[in-house]
Amino acid sequence: MALESCANNNVVSQLCADVSLPRMQKLQQKFDTQHLPLDDIASIVNEELKKVASVSPIRAGMSVAITCGSRGVANIAIITKAIVDFVKECGGFPFVFPAMGSHGGATSHGQLEVLASYGVTEQFLGCPIRATMETVQVGKTSEGIAVFMDRYAYEADAIILCGRIKAHTAFHGPIESGLIKMAVIGMGKQHGAENIHEPGFSNMARILPQAGDVLLQTGKIICGIGILENAFDQTYKINAIPAADIPVLEPKLLLEAKKMMGKIHFSETDVLVVDRIGKDISGDGMDPNISGTFGSSECSGGINAQRVVVLDLTEDTHGNANGIGTASITTKRLVDKIDVDTTYPNAVTSTLLCEVSVPIFTHTDKQAIQLGIRTCNMIDKNNPRIIRIRDTLNIEYIYVSEALIEEAMKNPNLKLIGEPEDWDFNADGNLW
């Protein structure tokens, strides 16, 4: 009844009637553009695997399980197929399995759908994809935490880990998102992931390497393919690492990955407007290392914004709105798209329930942005500082309000494009 009354009386519109929106200036942000040519990626994977073959041999007749995750890694289908082809060259029998914890609604069918959305199919790979949520306990950490492994992977003769190495969205440490996390949480499926998250993110930097050691000691994992990306979501580097060297080399690659990642070249703003979030953008919908919207108190970084306004979900997130709880304001359009059956499992597993709490929402994009300005404290509301981004993966081009133009002109990493323009709202008050 309260929502219906709000819609009929246009309450938010009345509350924000005196809030005017400033003109916005398009900017180009400069980042390191180094990346691997697309046509070379398969051969690079092959060469990297050859380098570790003497340490991590694949013998004829071996069944080899290859991980594939849910994070929207650039060129993941090509990279995974190259690993499959290498195993075949060695006389092995490869299969791919979803290694994504509780993602895909914590069901085998849902996880297969996630892989298919990335082009990772049996037809493309030329090998089976085996999906199960069943796990096998392979041991316990020194602190007594049980560690689990996907049943199909456990039954294989060998496992090759494949994953992107990057900054985590809820904790910081020598090992964050990468091969160890893929092994511990990805291969642990929903049950294993939930077990590792139980102690909370304040302990994750310590617990994750311990659990990784348990898995490495099984002897099942023979090597890992670590992938690094640049700020443009392009493959920057691919390294094959023998299993025993992963705990030593992954931290070094993580530092390199952090140097390559994108950022917003401003330290603070009054309002950050994010056009869309989704699991295909970040595990948290929007990468808090860029947006500053951390769901865990263990992390800091990204831009400092008083209000974060999120307008929509990506199509490829399939209703998964994980991360919306870190926004200040959103839209009814986004709320209507939320599929709780795909959104909630990840939050329950990670124990970060705040990630999926629905913030205050408005009926139009314009109202959401106006409300963001209206509720900021101690700012110049006649000349507010606003930054608008498409999402946290696409930040080469951003928009800033006129209040930030002078600061932008002093930054060599920013280039002004065109002239300031009014917001392009349609007749319904939306941006599209």
- Return the structure tokens found at 390: 């498409």
Give the residue-averaged pLDDT of 60-89.
Answer: 94
Nearest to 390 by CA among 431, 427, 338: 431
Gap between the Cα atoms of 200 and 178, Å rounded: 19
Domains of the chain by start residue, with CATH: 14-31+262-421 (no CATH), 38-260 (3.40.50.11440)
pLDDT at 81 over 80: yes
Planar angle of CA 332, 318, 124, nearest 5 degrees: 160
pLDDT at 300 over 90: no
> What SS3 class is residue 124?
helix
pLDDT at 1 over 50: no
pLDDT at 299 over 80: no
Asked if residues 333 and 339 have their Cβ atoms less than 8 Å apart, the reply is no
Instruction: For residue range 368-414, list pLDDT tens digits in order.
Output: 999 999 999 999 999 999 999 999 999 999 999 999 999 999 999 99
Asked if residues 313 and 277 have their Cβ atoms less than 8 Å apart, the reply is yes
Q: How many CB atoms lie within 10 A of CB 44?
A: 18
pLDDT value of residue 6:
45
pLDDT value of residue 430:
96
Asked if residues 196 and 214 have their Cβ atoms less than 8 Å apart, the reply is no
Asked if residues 192 and 320 have their Cβ atoms less than 8 Å apart, the reply is no
| Helix ranges, 198-331 (H) | 204-216, 246-260, 288-291
Residues listed for the chain:
432
**DSSP letter for each residue of 83-123:** HHHHHHHTT-EEEEEE--TTTGGGSHHHHHHHHHHTT--HH
Residue type, 275: D
- 328's CB contacts (< 8 A; 6+ apart) are 306, 307, 308, 309, 359, 360, 372, 375
Q: How many CA within 13 A on the CB side of residue 72?
A: 15
Nearest to 66 by CA among 129, 143, 137: 129
pLDDT at 2 over 60: no
Using pLDDT thresholds of 50, 70 and 90, give the confidence band for residue 162: very high
Instruction: For residue range 249-276, list pLDDT tens digits in order.
Output: 999 999 999 999 999 999 999 999 999 9
Instruction: For residue range 410-432, list pLDDT tens digits in order.
Output: 999 999 999 999 999 999 999 99
Question: Mean pLDDT score of the chain, rounded to an integer?
Answer: 93
Q: Looking at the DSSP assignment, which residues form a beta bridge with residue 46?
A: none
Give the residue-averaged pLDDT of 6-17.
Answer: 71
- Return the structure tokens found at 234: 């392009």
Give the residue-averaged pLDDT of 329-352.
Answer: 92
Instruction: For residue range 13-68, list pLDDT tens digits in order.
Output: 888 889 999 999 999 999 999 999 999 999 999 999 999 998 888 999 999 999 99
pLDDT at 217 over 50: yes
DSSP assignment, residue 173? S
Give the residue-averaged pLDDT of 153-171.
Answer: 94
pLDDT at 8 over 70: no
Gap between the Cα atoms of 382 and 63, Å rounded: 66
pLDDT value of residue 3:
44
Gap between the Cα atoms of 387 and 268, Å rounded: 9
